[in-house]
Copies of this chain bind each other. A is one copy, B any other.
Amino acid sequence: MSRENITREEISKWFQKLQDDITHQLEEADGGGKFVRDTWDRPGGGGGTSAVMSDGAIIEKGGVNFSAVWGEAPPQVLKTLRLEHPDAEEFFATGISIVLHPKNPMVPIIHMNTRYFEVSGGAWWFGGGIDLTPHYIDTEDAAWFHRALKEVCDRHHASYYPDFKKWADEYFFLKHRKETRGVGGIFFDHLSDAPGFDRAARFAFVRDVGLAFAPIYTHFMEKNSVLPFTEEHQQWQAIRRGRYVEFNLVWDRGTRFGLETDGRTESILMSLPPNAQWLYNFTPPAGSAEEQTQQLLRKGIDWLNASSRVSAS
């Protein structure tokens, strides 16, 4: 696929097909829940389909959203995108966005997003990422996850994994808690034309990120959903879900952008967990598994080799 041959419609169509593929794979791995679809129109142009699973066998609440929207770009949109081209009057945006909250606290929460933007005047770019938020960090699981992401990145450029891993550490960070959301992953934005990276090459990378998602998460669904858990584990899960709410509503650019620009609220907030708890000044007991997880919620950990270097047990 050469750059000239890729149209916004092809990208959007590919994302929409990815939504179908992912929902089918997740339904199969869940073995109980089904995704329910809502299709919506955006008054200014375009629309989307939200696919939401509630009360599955493994997934307690999860959404796989597709959208393709276009139209006149309000100044607020251009400002949020950090664009101030005088000729950027029309925009086109398409992508998929996924958050899955599992029932079993031993299964991690996961998030994935791929997106493509165009503005009139010719500017275009891809963005996206995958990050993992275990309620209980298992360093072997974290290493496996990062190896899977590195493999995808390395197929495209040697700088991708280290650069995008670092970017995820910076992005998925709760500044007010001075803690990361989880064990990170990869995050990238504004991937545009550059020597050696035309639109076809960027799109090929984003496709590979999208295709990696289902095999990665179904691995954790299958492996960890059989682990036993207690009410205490569920309470910690509810507290960690509270932190997930804090990140998404306070810091996540996509969520804030959507809420401030009159996006479809129920689709944007499908990322919120089924429940959450806030206890004043909660501190996990010294030496507990919860404290061990808390201590691993920091930037700069080399998760690829974490099992031999960071002890969580």
Contact = CB atoms under 8 A, between A and B. Distances in A.
Interface in A250-292: 250, 256, 259-260, 262-263, 265-266, 268-270, 272-281
Interface stretch (A115-123, A137-145, A241-249): A241-249
B61 A265 contact: no
A186 interface: no
A266 to B, nearest CB: 5
A300 to B, nearest CB: 20
A48 interface: no
A177 B265 contact: yes
Contacts of A269: 246, 278
A151 to B, nearest CB: 33
A38 interface: yes
A169 to B, nearest CB: 19
A176 interface: yes
Nearest to A54: B280
- A contacts with B: majority SS: mixed
Nearest to A256: B250
Contacts of A262: 175-176
A72 to B, nearest CB: 20
Nearest to A242: B272
B279 A276 contact: no
A105 interface: no
Nearest to A264: B176
A262 B250 CA distance: 13
A93 interface: no
A238 interface: yes
A103 to B, nearest CB: 15
A280 B63 contact: yes
Contacts of A61: 278, 280
Contact of A281 (B176, B266, B279): B266
Given A52-B281, A274-B278, A275-B276, 12 more contacts: A38-B281, A54-B280, A175-B260, A176-B259, A176-B260, A176-B262, A246-B249, A249-B250, A250-B250, A250-B256, A275-B275, A275-B277
